[in-house]
A and B are shown apart, each in its own frame.
Chain A
C-alpha cells in the first residue's frame, strides 16, 4: 500500500468519513486500536465487576447488621446471627505476628544482599529467594501442618515458654494449630517478598549517595544505615505493605494451620480463625441467602482492606523510584 491510511483523514472530503473509517479498518489501523482498547476496557470492567458483585451480593448482610457485623462475636447460621469479630481478630493477629517476625529478618537479608555481601553471592542468593516467592501457598500449608507444627510443639514453643511464659500471649494449652502457627507460616511466606522488593529498592539508591558518605570517612555499615536505608525508606515501607496485603488475604496456608475455631483468645497458642479461612471453609456449604451474604461481606472487607494497603504500598514505592530519578 503506497499511502499510509492515516493520511487519508486529512485529504478526504468530509462526506467520505465513513468510507475512510472502513478503509482504515480494513487496513488494520482502526481494528488494531479497537481491539486493544476492548481488552483494556475489559480489565476495567472486570475490576469494577468484582467490586460491584461483592457490594451487591453482600447487601442483605450489610443492611441487617450494619457496622456491628465487624464488632460482634456471634456466628450462628441457625439463628441467622452473624458477627465477624473472631475472624477479623484472627486475620489481624496472624498478619501482625507474621510482620513482627518477617520485617527484621527480611530487611536484614535485603540489606545484606544489596549492600554488604559480595555481588556474586548476592545475585545468586537473591535469585534463589525470589524463586521461593513463587512457591504456591498450599504447599506452605502442607509443610506447615506436617513439618512446622510438630517442630513448634516439640521445641520452639517450650523454649519460648521458658523465657516468655509469664506473658499472657504464651499461656494456655498448645495443640499445635494456632494463631502462632499461622503467623509463623505467613512470615515464612512473606519474607521472600520483603527481601526481593526491598533489595531492588535499595539497589536503586544512586551510587553517588554512597560515595558521598564513604568520602567523608563513613564505613560500610554507617553508609548503609545512615544514608542508603533512609533514602530507600519509603520504598521499603512499600514492600512491607505489599507483604501485609498478601498476609491479610492469604487463604490456604492459614486455613490449614490456624485451627478454624471462631473464638477470640489472648494467647497466641490458642486456635483461631481468619476471614479468608472462614470463606474457604463455609462458602460452598452456606445455606440460605443471609449466610452466603455474610460470607460475601467478609470478602468485601478483605477486598477493601487489601485495596487500601496495596494503594499505599504502590504510592510509597513510586515516590522512592521518582526520588531516585531526580537527583
Chain B
C-alpha cells in the first residue's frame, strides 16, 4: 500500500511560488526543515503510525488533518520526541532536523529547537512574566539585562503584549482562554525555536480567539517553520500552505493545501474533505 502520494519542497528564495516536485528530485531547493521517512510508531504492541514519509518545508505552515484517532497528534509528538514521556511509546524510522538525525540528538536540545503548543492551554500557575521567561531560564538564556526585553519580544510575537503589558506579574490564570493559549505560544517562542508544533491549539477556543491565533500563525512563519494539527478542515484550508491527510495511522495524501482541498488524488481524502466520513 502506498502511504503518501508525494513530497513537496519549497524554494526559500521566493515564498510566493509553490513548486511541486517529485521526491528526491529537489535539487537546487533548500532541503526540508524536517524530513520523516519510514516512521512507524507503537504504543506497547499497538501500532499507531504506519510507514509515514513526509517532508516539512521550511518557513511554511504545514497542516495535518484527519479524523480523531488517526495518528496526527502522535505524529506531531514524534517530531520533538515528546512521545518519550509516555510509557511504552516507541518510534522506528528516520527523523531528520536540518539533515541531522533527530533520534541521535539530545532530546532536551531537540525540544528547545522544536517548540510545542498543546491542545489544552497549559500555563504554569506562575505570573505571566515567569511563564514566558521559563524556557529562557531553564536553558540558561536569561541574562539579567535582557530578560525583560526577551519576554516582551515573545509576547509581541504572540500578539499578546498590548493586552498584558500592565499585568505582567499577575497570575497567568487571570487571562481568558484565548489569551492563555497565546501566552503558551509566547512561552514556546521565547527560546526561539526553529520549528513550532501546534496540536489543535484552537479546539477549546471561540471563533474570535481562533481568528487571532490564525492571524498570528501567518506572521510566525516568516521566522520559523510551523506544523499545525487540526481537526478543523476550514482552519487547515485557511492557514496551511501544505496539508497532509492522516487516516488510521497512515499518511494518505500530502500536497499543497490547494490540491488537497480542490483536487485530491485519493478517494479517502475526497471523502473526508467533502464530509462523507469523520
Contact = CB atoms under 8 A, between A and B. Distances in A.
Interface of A: 119, 206, 208-219, 222, 226-227, 230-231, 323, 327
B125 A206 contact: no
Contact of B118 (A119, A211, A219, A226): A211
B169 to A, nearest CB: 16
Contact of A215 (B82, B123, B126): B82
B124 to A, nearest CB: 6
A208 B57 CA distance: 28
B122 A216 contact: no
Contacts of B184: 212
A327 B135 CA distance: 20
B170 to A, nearest CB: 16
Contacts, number: 73
19 contacts: A206-B122, A208-B120, A208-B122, A211-B85, A212-B118, A212-B123, A213-B138, A214-B111, A215-B188, A216-B115, A216-B134, A216-B188, A216-B190, A217-B108, A217-B135, A218-B135, A222-B138, A230-B124, A230-B126
A81 to B, nearest CB: 53
A323 B123 CA distance: 13
Interface string B130-149: 00001101110000000000
A320 B123 CA distance: 16
B125 A230 contact: yes
Contact of A231 (B87, B116, B118, B124): B124
Given A119-B87, A212-B123, A327-B173, 5 more contacts: A208-B118, A208-B122, A215-B80, A216-B111, A216-B135
B82 A216 contact: no
Contacts of B85: 210-211, 214
Contacts of A226: 134, 137-138
A327 B122 contact: yes
Contacts of B137: 226
A212 B82 contact: no
B138 A323 contact: no
B109 interface: yes
B228 interface: no
A281 to B, nearest CB: 48
B188 to A, nearest CB: 6
Interface in B78-115: 80, 82, 85, 87, 108-109, 111-112, 115
Contacts of A222: 138
A323 B126 CA distance: 13
B231 interface: no
Contacts of A230: 124-126
B118 A217 contact: no
B124 A227 contact: yes
A161 B224 CA distance: 62
B191 interface: yes
A226 B188 CA distance: 16
B60 interface: no
Contacts of B82: 211, 214-215
A212 B130 CA distance: 13
Contacts of A218: 108, 134-135, 138-139
B272 to A, nearest CB: 28
Contacts of B111: 214-217
A215 B173 contact: no
A208 B86 CA distance: 12
Contact of A212 (B80, B109, B187): B187
B134 A215 contact: no
Nearest to B111: A217
A217 B122 contact: no
Contact of A216 (B125, B126, B173, B187): B187
Contacts of A119: 87
Contacts of B124: 209, 212-213, 227, 230-231
A67 B137 CA distance: 52
A14 B109 CA distance: 78
Contacts of A214: 82, 85, 111
A217 B134 contact: no
Contacts of B125: 230-231, 323, 327
Contact of B112 (A216, A231, A327): A216
Interface in B150-203: 173, 184, 187-188, 190-191
A116 to B, nearest CB: 13
A127 to B, nearest CB: 18
Nearest to B125: A231
Contacts of A217: 108-109, 111-112, 135, 138-139, 191
Contacts of A216: 111-112, 115, 134-135, 138-139, 187-188, 190-191
B91 to A, nearest CB: 16
A295 B47 CA distance: 69
A110 to B, nearest CB: 20
Nearest to B197: A215
A269 B124 CA distance: 46
B80 to A, nearest CB: 7
Contacts of B190: 216
Candidate in A119, A218, A323 with the most chain B CB atoms within 10 angstroms: A218
Nearest to B126: A230
A189 B173 CA distance: 39
A226 B133 CA distance: 12
Contacts of A212: 118, 122-124, 184, 187
Nearest to A206: B122
